[in-house]
Amino acid sequence: MQKDKILVADDEKSMREFLEIMLRKEGYKVTLASNGEEVLKWAEKDIFDLALLDLRMPKVDGLSALKKMKALSPETVVIVITAYASADTAIKAMKEGAYDYITKPFKVDEIKLIIKNALEKKNLQKENLILKKVVRDRYHFENIIGQSPKMLELYDLLEKVSPTKTNILITGESGTGKELVAKAIHYNSSRKEKPFVTLNCGAIPESLIESELFGHMKGAFTDAISTKKGLFEVADEGAIFLDEISELPLLMQVKLLRVLQDKEFKRVGGTEDIRVDVRIISATNKDLEEAVREKRFREDLFYRLNVIQIKMPPLRERREDIPLLGNHFLKKYSDDLDKHITKISPEALRILMNYDFPGNVRELQNIIERAVALEATSELTWQNLTSYLEEQLPIKKAGFDIDFPNEGIDLEKVVSDLEKTLLLKAMDRTKGIKKKAAELLRINFRSMRYRLEKYGLNSNGLEEEEE
């Protein structure tokens, strides 16, 4: 466990030594300064959890040091010490950001208690900020929805790996729920009371990734106006989720590997080695082994991250979960949009069951949200799905021009997609009346009914019966 770091600043040597001995016995890591200038030099080199500043110091007085220190490191808790207590000095110190002030001579138990309470409050505020972003109850395994054999296998694996300290690599297509699984692993582990932080490696400019991960010192680069902790330092004793890990630049791969090996790093512009205990959960929708073969991803880093691999199944490989997921999203968006839609119609469900969902669960979620927003009845009907699905199908009209790739095409799928698109358009044009739709397509009613059943597009109750 990383010790809280305390900076003690007092021009009296005996007071500095007394506080150092007392605080070290309490388990804190202590740094000493004899004047205000030394305070500011230390503040530029490191981030302290708490600072004890004497108000009367040579070169730079305590109030000036307090003001500059809070500008350099806003998260540091500052307690001022004075032998000349007055309402004015207390008010000035509080206005400049001091947590509390202590007058000399003070009782040892009193200062111990004030420091303990200050650090507990700081840590509680830090934890509350994290909890505001993530409601941990959402990430129990039972909230990862699915009852298919593939999902049951996933639950079994999650139960085994969550309690361990092992690094995890989650692979799978976009939209399969990789981040949800990462959070479930963390919040079902022994580290659940500690931070869970995330970084999308593909969303941060290459020039800023090192600072995001490892932090920086004031002045380390143009926009570094104050010293800042990186995600690894914030996540100490917890976990960090590195999404789209395949997008991490090669130079950063080397630095990440060093952290995994040595469990320590330096901030950008810093000189101190910072030790951390962080579990790495990474994710990718790319083939990392192919990236290793092509020298785009380091092999040694791959093996460090890929201690246990969790493969997320695409939705098309667990179609039996579509009704369960569909109804879950139906309830969510019915509540969110203040609608009273109680079920998905059989016709709409058949359409969903026959769609391949290239965007996986995320796409299903978006489809249901859109359909709920458009639905005017108490049942989600197929008509509110068709316009979206038509847009997604690769062929949208007759008289089309299609690119013919070098590797060829799946003729049966192309023809099937075209037929499905035209059936949907005809049914939409005739408001679900099969007989009129058949006439538009110049086929007989019996053929129309067969084709609709073939693609799960039947809409009983809306068509004219065959005479």
Per-residue pLDDT of the chain (467 residues; tens, 9 = 90+): 467 899 999 888 998 899 999 999 989 999 999 988 888 889 888 889 999 988 888 888 878 888 888 888 888 889 888 776 565 776 777 778 888 888 878 888 888 988 988 888 777 766 655 554 443 444 556 568 888 889 989 988 998 999 999 999 999 999 999 999 999 999 899 998 899 999 999 888 888 899 999 998 888 888 778 888 899 999 999 999 999 999 999 999 999 999 999 999 999 998 889 999 999 999 999 999 999 999 999 999 999 999 999 999 999 999 999 999 999 999 999 999 999 999 998 888 888 988 889 899 999 999 999 999 999 999 998 888 876 776 665 444 444 555 566 667 777 777 887 888 888 888 878 878 888 888 888 888 888 888 888 877 764 434 444 43
Whether the Cβ atoms of residue 161 and residue 310 lie closer than 8 Å to each other: yes
Q: DSSP assignment of 149-203, as one string?
A: HHHHHHHHHHHHHTTS---EEEE--TTS-HHHHHHHHHHTSTTTTS-EEEEETTT
Task: Return the CATH number of the domain spanning residue range 5-132.
Answer: 3.40.50.2300
DSSP assignment string, 134-162: --GGGGSGGGS---SHHHHHHHHHHHHHT
> What's the predicted TM-score (pTM) here?
0.63
Of 273, 286, 178, the C-alpha closest to 233 is: 273
Do domains 5-132 and 317-454 share one topology? The answer is: no
Domain boundaries, the chain: 5-132, 136-311, 317-454
Decide: 378 and 412 in contact? Cβ < 8 Å: no
Angle at which helix 383-392 crosses helix 411-429, to 10 degrees, equals 140
Superfamily name and number for 136-311:
P-loop containing nucleotide triphosphate hydrolases (3.40.50.300)
Asked whether 77 and 124 are in contact (CB, 8 A), the reply is no
CATH architecture of 317-454: Orthogonal Bundle (1.10)
